[in-house]
């Protein structure tokens, strides 16, 4: 399957890699974006993104969204490294998109990231899943557990959810694209969703 220029551009925005490296990885992955990113990671091409993600975020902004009915409101705290980036149009656009996602998602998230999910909740889920699949070989059970836990993260974690304006990408991909563009670490610290009567 031929790789389109749009795919190369999208991978560049996600990873910050040079266009040629993106094209090579996409060619090797036969156009599959997730596989191409994995290939790039394994070959050590993606270093900047990892370095960015480890840098401290001491600045940022709080975004708000209130539905026209006045019955639904959202607050999102988005962090970055500098006030300069926090004031930028790209950062503000991302913050607005995140507020819209939390407000408009048919399945509102409970946590911003996987790290915020209590380990006890995941352990309970694993026990319930394992009980449903008693008698399966250990390696099969492990794959079933992994698949089901991924689905749980997709349901309850903001960054793992399909983005409400483009479900072909996850919210975390949207954030990574902006990180590559802004050259700073950007992360959702917390959010709150208020709905009258709930």
Structure tokens at 77: 């705290």
Q: Determine the pLDDT at residue 129.
A: 86
**Whether 39 contacts 28, CB under 8 Å:** yes
Domain identity same for 108 and 165: yes
Residues (pLDDT < 70) of the chain are 1, 13, 15-18, 42-52
The CA distance from 158 to 87, in Å, is 23
Domain identity same for 81 and 20: no
The CA distance from 194 to 177, in Å, is 28
Domain identity same for 95 and 23: no
Q: Give a three-class secondary structure readout of the chain.
A: CCCCHHHHHHHHHHHCCCHHHHHHHHHHCCCCHHHHHHHHHHCCCCCHHHHHHHCCCCEEEEEEEECCCCCEEEEEEEEECCHHHHCCHHHHHHHHHHHHHHHHCCCCCCECCHHHCCHHHHHHHHHHHHHHCCCCCHHHHHHHHHHHHHHHHHHHEHHHCEECCEEEEEHHHHHHHHHHHHCCCCEEEEEEEEECCC
Residue 111's Cα: distance from chain center in Å?
A: 12
Q: Determine the pLDDT at residue 132.
A: 85
Q: Determine the pLDDT at residue 163.
A: 94
- CATH number for the domain spanning 41: value is 1.10.8
- Report how many domains make up the chain: 3
Domain identity same for 147 and 67: no
Domain identity same for 23 and 95: no
Q: Determine the pLDDT at residue 45.
A: 56
The CA distance from 72 to 104, in Å, is 10
Q: Determine the pLDDT at residue 52.
A: 64
Residue 148's contacts (CB-CB under 8 Å, 6 or more residues apart) are: 125, 129
Domain identity same for 40 and 88: no
Q: Determine the pLDDT at residue 48.
A: 46
Domain identity same for 28 and 84: no
Domain identity same for 95 and 141: no
The CA distance from 138 to 141, in Å, is 5
Domain identity same for 86 and 148: no
Domain identity same for 42 and 67: no
Domain identity same for 128 and 105: no
Domain identity same for 77 and 150: no
Q: Determine the pLDDT at residue 98.
A: 97
Q: Determine the pLDDT at residue 51.
A: 59
Q: Determine the pLDDT at residue 151.
A: 92
Whole domain around residue 133: which residue ranges?
118-155
Q: CB 95: neighbour CB atoms within 10 A? A: 24
């Amino acid at each position: 399957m031929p790789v389109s220029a749009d795919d190369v551009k999208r991978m560049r925005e996600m990873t910050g890699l040079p266009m040629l490296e993106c094209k090579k990885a996409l060619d090797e992955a036969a156009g599959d974006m997730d596989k191409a990113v994995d290939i790039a990671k394994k070959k050590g091409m993606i270093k900047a993104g990892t370095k960015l993600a480890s840098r401290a975020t001491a600045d940022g902004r709080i975004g708000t969204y209130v539905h026209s009915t006045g019955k639904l409101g959202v607050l999102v705290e988005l962090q970055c490294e500098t006030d300069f980036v926090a004031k930028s149009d790209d950062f503000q656009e991302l913050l607005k998109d995140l507020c819209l996602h939390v407000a408009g998602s048919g399945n509102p998230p409970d946590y911003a990231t996987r790290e915020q999910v209590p380990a006890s909740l995941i352990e309970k889920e694993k026990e319930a899943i394992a009980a449903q699949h008693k008698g399966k070989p250990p390696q099969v059970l492990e794959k079933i557990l992994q698949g089901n836990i991924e689905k749980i993260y997709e349901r309850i974690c903001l960054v793992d959810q399909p983005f409400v304006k483009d479900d072909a990408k996850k919210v975390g991909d949207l954030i990574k694209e902006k990180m590559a563009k802004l050259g700073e670490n950007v992360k959702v610290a917390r959010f709150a969703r208020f709905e009258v009567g709930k």
